[in-house]
Amino acid sequence: MKPIVCLIAILLFVTVSSVVAQSPMTLSVDASDAARNMLHSKISIPVKPGPLTLFYPKWIPGEHSPTGPINDLVGLKLSAGGKPIAWQRDDVEMFAFHCDIPQGVTVLDVTFDDVSQPESIASVKLARIKWNRLLVYAQGMNSDAITVKASLKLPTGWRFASALPVVNENKDDVQFKEASLTQLVDSPAIIGTNFRKLPLSSTGPMHEIDIVADTTAALEMKPETLTGLKAIVGEAYALFGARHYRSYQFLVTLSDHGGSEGLEHHESSEDGVGEKAFSDELELLDFAELIGHEYAHSWNGKYRRPVGLATPDFEQPMRGELLWVYEGLTQYLGKVLPARSGLWSAEDFREALAAVAAEMENQSGRQWRPVVDTAVAVQFTYPSPRAWMNYRRRVDYYDEGSLIWLDADVLIRSRSNGKLSLDDFCHRFHGGQDTAPVLKPYTFDDIVSTLNEVTPYDWRDFLDARVNRVNPHAPLAGITNGGWKLVYTDKPNTEIRIADHARKSIDLSYSLGMLLKEDGTVMDVNPSSAAFKAGMAPGMKILSVNGRMWSTEVLHAAITSSKTITAPIEVIVENGSFNETYKLNYHGGERYPHLERDNTKPDLIGEIIKSRAQQSK
Ligand SMILES: [Zn+2]
């Protein structure tokens, strides 16, 4: 393996006196109790006598936040030669444990259990093995400099997949090849009783999709889905022009109880979706976007990473100010790739753009907060509460970032009369030679200079204006200059149907200005909306609409008839232990966003989603 290079790591490297860096740690994970949300971990660390601090991974790559699930570490015991060694948690850094290694001791044994939250990483039939949850290491060590020999004991009869190379498999015991701690954490495994593996390429590096599911029926994939997944491998190579992995595996878990996930790695991705992801029409569209997004991350996020996110271990804080590149560009490419691969239709692509454009344009938080602030504040924007989210803004560096990159793509296409595109930026920035996993950090200046190499323009101001300043309107120039207009009709939007299906919600953002649960509970209210002006707020529960008992049909009927009736929509809501009546002065009918063709301009949106792999054949 080519070791992962990290420039910052060299500067921050700290030698720890009580650790023998050259010898590998061993990590034995017993997953026999995975179905009970319990994994047993045994770690042996080469040590020298003296004080030692052990660290539990806190800042997890791809999560951009201190999300290491320290509360799930239980039963911690330290020993040497069978004799217990006392430990003490640091009273400020909760992820650090201090101990004193006695004279004569060369190996410290650490055992603990990882007790995951139900519905997070495991169901009765499958689990995701995330190594960072299952180990501690010597604080201050660079994760590239620590080597680990890992092994995994599976529940009887279960099978596994991982990008981590295997040296030996014996029934339910798997021995992995020695790897750096960085590579180990970047190479999770999926395990499950219902397992399927499908190759996605016949030449060049190995690409495959590995699937574990709650049922055997869920493993069934339509032939056109498999064709689309194979096409996405070719489209990504055509887009970037090089690969930075030795092989690539989509590690897919299909379960309504094993937790959802989308986490990128150099040589694999964790793609945790619902049990019906391959069979339900809406869930399949959502799955295609997840696959496109996580796969694009192998280039944009893992190979090229903002310097602030390229940390030398799992302890140094990450800085998220360039997440509108890391996640925003990936969010854009995560829509382009499924469209170019046939997993999405052109209409699916436009519906997704319309949904994003409408959501960002109607985000009232944009009146006080630039998109960069949602990225800088990443430590709390992911778990941001649902209530008043429209006013807070959440992880808008994803969706608003994608609109900024669409804007850049259309601008490059327009200025070059169609000869160049954002693909040329990706070629320069993410391409080059094929390599094994390697990390090449970048700065804002690197983005600006590479864009200028593609098409000379004032890219610094272009990005500064859209990212760093408060903007009352979303950056929609990519849509309007791309030959389309954002319009609202009474026809439901596909992307909004997907979101409503997934969260069991009713999105009325563009009519009443509310997001509701199917039972009538208000999840969010837009402060510029009729609902807000009437007095409504998150947490209230609608009991009746225009005198009739709550149902989604009754509410939709009231919205539809609002166009022809002058009286307001009257709702009775439960607010705590009180019932209250509100009058919503709204008369616009059902409203959902779509893109409508503007025939005065060339259709550049249509050009963006043309297959590039087919063109280059
Ligand atoms: Zn992402």
Query: Which tokens belong to 160?
Result: 């596994």
Looking at residues 216-229, what average pLDDT do you find? 98
Distance 320 CA to ligand 1 centre (A): 13
Residue 20 is predicted with a pLDDT of: 57
Ligand 1 centre to CA of 264 (Å) is 7
pLDDT at 21: 53
- Find the 335 Cα to ligand 1 centroid distance in Å: 12
String of DSSP letters for 223-286: HHHHHHHHHHHHHHHHHHSS--SS-EEEEEEE-SSS--EEEE-SSEEEEEE-TTTTTSHHHHHH
Q: How far is the CA of 533 from the centre of ligand 1 (A)?
A: 36
Region 107-125: what's the mean pLDDT? 97
> What gap in Å lies between CA 12 and CA 59, rounded to an integer?
16
Task: Say how many C-beta atoms besides its own lie within 10 A of residue 71's C-beta.
Answer: 9
* 334 Cα to the center of ligand 1, angstroms: 9
Per-residue model confidence (pLDDT) at position 16: 43
| Residue 330 alpha carbon to ligand 1 centre in Å | 6
Average pLDDT over residues 485-494: 98
Has residue 303 got a pLDDT over 90?
yes
Distance (Å, rounded) from C-alpha 20 to C-alpha 24? Answer: 9
pLDDT tens column, 81-93: 999 999 999 999 9
What whole-number distance in Å separates Cα of residue 198 and Cα of residue 210? Answer: 7
Per-residue pLDDT, 487: 98
Beta bridge mates, 25: 148
Q: How far is the CA of 456 from the centre of ligand 1 (A)?
A: 29
pLDDT of residue 23: 87
Rounded distance from Cα 261 to ligand 1 centre (Å):
11
CA of 294 to the centre of ligand 1 (A): 6
pLDDT at 12 over 60: no
Per-residue pLDDT tens for 123-147?
999 999 999 999 999 999 999 999 9
15 alpha carbon – ligand 1 mean position (Å): 33
- Indicate the pTM of the whole model: 0.95
User: Looking at residues 465-472, what average pLDDT do you find?
Assistant: 98
Between the CA of 331 and the centroid of ligand 1 the distance, in Å, is 7
The CA distance from 232 to 255, in Å, is 24
Residue 549, SS3 per DSSP:
strand
pLDDT band at 464 (very low <50, low <70, confident <90, very high): very high
Interatomic CA distance for residues 305 and 270, integer angstroms: 19
- Whose CA is closest to 229, among 221, 218, 241? 221
The rounded Å distance from CA 164 to ligand 1 centre is: 21
Tell me the CA–centroid distance for residue 313 and ligand 1, in Å: 20
Cα-to-centroid distance, 181 and ligand 1 (Å): 22
How far is the centre of ligand 1, averaged over its atoms, from the C-alpha of 236 (Å)?
A: 16
The H or E element spanning position 290 is helix 281-296
Residues 157-185 have pLDDT tens digits of: 999 999 999 999 999 999 999 999 999 99
Please give the average per-residue pLDDT across 501-509, as a whole number. Answer: 97
Tell me the pLDDT of the chain averaged across its residues.
95
- Whether the per-residue pLDDT at 14 is higher than 50: the answer is no
Predicted pLDDT at 22: 63
457 Cα–ligand 1 center, Å: 28
What is the pLDDT at residue 1? 26
* Predicted confidence (pLDDT) at residue 17 exceeds the cutoff of 60: no
Helix (H), strand (E) counts: the chain = 20, 32
pLDDT of residue 241: 98
> How many A from CA of 300 to the centre of ligand 1?
9
Closest CA to 63 of 320, 424, 348, 354: 320
pLDDT of residue 615: 76
Residues 318-333: pLDDT tens digits?
999 999 999 999 999 9
pLDDT tens-digit map of 198-212:
999 999 999 999 999
- How far is the centre of ligand 1, averaged over its atoms, from the C-alpha of 328 (Å)? 8
Gap from CA of 196 to ligand 1 centroid (Å): 25
Grade residue 302 by pLDDT with cuts at 50, 70 and 90: very high
Asked if pLDDT for residue 591 goes beyond 70, the answer is yes
pLDDT of residue 575: 98
Cα 280 to averaged position of ligand 1 atoms, centre (Å): 23
**Mean pLDDT throughout 39-62?**
98
Q: 410 C-alpha to center of ligand 1: Å?
A: 22
Predicted local confidence at residue 614, as pLDDT: 81
How many Å lie between the centroid of ligand 1 and the Cα of residue 554? 38
